[in-house]
Amino acid sequence: IARYFAAAKDHLAANDRQCLRVAVLATASMRRLPNASQLAIHNALRDGLNQSAQNDFNASRLDVRTLTNHEESSYKLAALNYGFNRIDAHVVKAPPLPGYKFSQKLFGFKELGDHSTQVAAPPGVTYNDEEQNLAQRLRNRTKTWTRSYPDFGMERIRRLTYARIVNVGWEASRAQRAVSNPCAFYGHSEEAAEWRGTGEASYCESFITKVVMDEQEKCMEHYDHIADAKQADAQREENCMGFPAMPYAEKFFLVSGYADVTDFARWWLRRSGFSQDARPLAYPTANELREAADVLCAAAWSELSAAAVDAEPAASTPAHRVPHRCFDLCYIVVLLTHGLRYKEDVAFDIPSRADVREIDWVQGAFLLMPFA
């Protein structure tokens, strides 16, 4: 990190560096650590930067901390809507369309990563004040609905699902490393794994659904010890996926992992002759994603792995993720329906623009953080 401070010297005058507020902000992965561990890391980083010869910024104006769930999600929400020209750079109102008097409604997003999934729904449009104090409303937890679920990232749920698949397999099959894994491509296997891929999307979805429902139930039970029922429900509403259902937004974009996985499925559908559309799955429903999973998961691993080195799939799916794309697509179906409780015919928007597919929360921080 000190290298970035050193590089900033080429862009900022000495006087500016002394009066500038600098923030080093940790995100979702850091929130998984105990508070004491986070504090120790923050203090060590702050001390190290202040002692570094590469850093001549004002130590009293250095902010090192972990973002809250809401801060990170609201920053991403601001960046997404700024990218679509739904808010201006001052975040005081959403500029109206040409010929229209009132502001456009803001977009929400659903983001899926290896280690967490996040959802954010924007504050509603207030026609009386034309979105006055929009920045304050985005920062306000009671006005802007945001949730982060660190237990529902793709990697954790995949490990739990594969473990369940192996556990229900025959002992003889485990010994032969031949337990049927419907979430892996047909013919795929991994060193030391007790399964081999059979590529059956419907069975894969069934296994994932059981895992997700178990995790939801564990979360609900975690707050049973709270005597006050209202307080217990408040904790469940804050932390347990699907309790309650998601709020309304004019449009939700599926970004990050959602977009990358559907890109991969889109490529395979076109390559297999199932769709001639320029962008199949650009506005998918859960049912359409389920149909795509049937096609994708049935692919022979030998054929798919050889083709996946092409530039198009490799652009959004690195080589180490290719074996998991059958599971990933099935998980998205389960996440949208059983997890987030959307109807199977609700369509979502997957943006084609790279600058909004991977939301730059740092840009949102510049828009929303009070830097004075």
User: Are the C-beta atoms of 341 and 119 separated by less than 8 Å?
Assistant: no
Give the 3-state secondary structure of 327-350: HHHHHHHHHHHHHCCCCCCCCCEC
Question: What distance in Å separates the CA atoms of residue 192 and residue 172, rounded to the nearest whole number?
Answer: 15
190 among known catalytic residues? no
User: Which segments of the chain does DSSP mark as H helices, in order?
Assistant: 2-8, 14-19, 28-31, 35-51, 69-83, 134-139, 154-167, 171-175, 201-222, 229-239, 257-271, 286-297, 301-307, 311-316, 325-334, 354-357, 361-368
Strand partners, 111: 118, 255
Task: Record the tokens describing residue 235, joined without a space.
Answer: 């904790």
Displacement of CA 363 from its chain's centroid (Å): 17
Selecting among 71, 72, 131, 288, the annotated active-site residue is 72
- Residues taking part in catalysis: 72
